[in-house]
Amino acid sequence: MNFRFQRLRHGLFGVSLAACLPSAEAALTLNATRVVHTSDSRSSSVVVANPSNRTFAVQTWVNTEQDDTASAVPLIPAPVLFRLDPGKEQMVQINGLPNDLPQDRESLFFFNVQEIPQQVSGTENVLNIALRTRIKLFYRPSRLNGKPQDQLDKLRWSLQTLDSKPHLVVDNPSAYHYTFDRLQANAGNQLQDLQATAMVAPFARQTYPLPSALTRPSKVVFTTINDYGGVSQEMTAQVH
């Protein structure tokens, strides 16, 4: 089986090519959309599956939110390189290393899976693209009490003007990251969807621009994505 291993620096070249091709989709799938690695666990796991009819070489690694190759990370996947035949699966163990990460909050990393397609003989002019899948990996200290969803009522919402435009502000006094699946603010008697793709980090603030019709919302309705990729119960909060 012939694979061309041009040394892609953690797949960045392949990803940039894929970005130019709107129809390109990853062939491999993962059994999770996020991973929570608790500090008292030796390892966590992700299953990589190949439902396609092609064989791939697969490369895995963990890196930071900045998506760089220089920052040291205390989580190492194994195996880091393997072959995956059609219809097969491979469990990847994410192993924790000794570290000095904060113990009063979660730390955010990313788990990467890059698929490298087989080079087919006689097709020298065919461009093979190494596509990458990247999911959030949360390192969670075991000393943290409670569950993330139990502390959603601690989020504080307010209004702020930034660059002369109104913004909805959320302050997170908890130790957990929150990703909003749905965020709506009231405009009169109706709720209007907001673009809230940015996650709010522990002990941090995040802002979301408001449309002109929502200069003074008095409440928000939201749901968040939980540890298993599902959606939390709907919450309503006042905007101060």
CATH of residue 191 = 2.60.40.10
> What is the amino acid identity at position 36?
V
What is the distance between the alpha carbons of residues 203 and 95, in angstroms, rounded to a whole number? 27
Segments forming the whole domain that contains residue 209: 148-238
Residues 121 and 184 both lie in one domain: no
Q: For 3-7, 48-52, 186-190, which range has the lowest pLDDT when averaged over its residues?
A: 3-7
User: Is the separation of the CB atoms in 88 and 115 below 8 Å?
Assistant: no
**Number of domains comprising the chain:** 2
User: Is the separation of the CB atoms in 47 and 57 below 8 Å?
Assistant: no
Per residue in 57-111, pLDDT tens? 999 999 999 999 899 999 999 999 999 999 999 999 999 999 999 999 999 999 9
For tokens 């490298």, name the residue: 116
Residues 16 and 116 both lie in one domain: yes
pLDDT at 154: 97
pLDDT at 190: 86
Q: What is the mean pLDDT of the chain?
A: 89
pLDDT at 126: 67
pLDDT at 174: 98
7 — pLDDT class (breaks 50, 70, 90)? very low
What is the distance between the alpha carbons of residues 69 and 40, in angstroms, rounded to a whole number? 26
Residues 71 and 161 both lie in one domain: no
User: Is the separation of the CB atoms in 36 and 46 below 8 Å?
Assistant: no
Residues 153 and 133 both lie in one domain: no
What is the distance between the alpha carbons of residues 77 and 117, in angstroms, rounded to a whole number? 21
130-163: b (≥16 Cβ within 10 Å) or e: bbbbeebbbbbbeebeeebbebbeebebebeeee
Does a structural domain hold residue 44?
yes
Q: Is 219 strand, coil or helix? A: strand
Residues 181 and 234 both lie in one domain: yes
Q: Is pLDDT at 16 greater than 50 in this prediction?
A: no
Does a structural domain hold residue 201?
yes
pLDDT at 232: 96
Per residue in 212-231, pLDDT tens? 888 899 999 999 999 999 99
Does a structural domain hold residue 3?
no
Domain boundary among 89, 121, 140: 140
Domain boundary among 94, 116, 140: 140
Angle at 101 between CA 196 and CA 37, to 5 degrees: 65
Does a structural domain hold residue 222?
yes
State the chain's maximal CA–CA distance in angstroms: 66
User: Is the separation of the CB atoms in 134 and 110 below 8 Å?
Assistant: yes
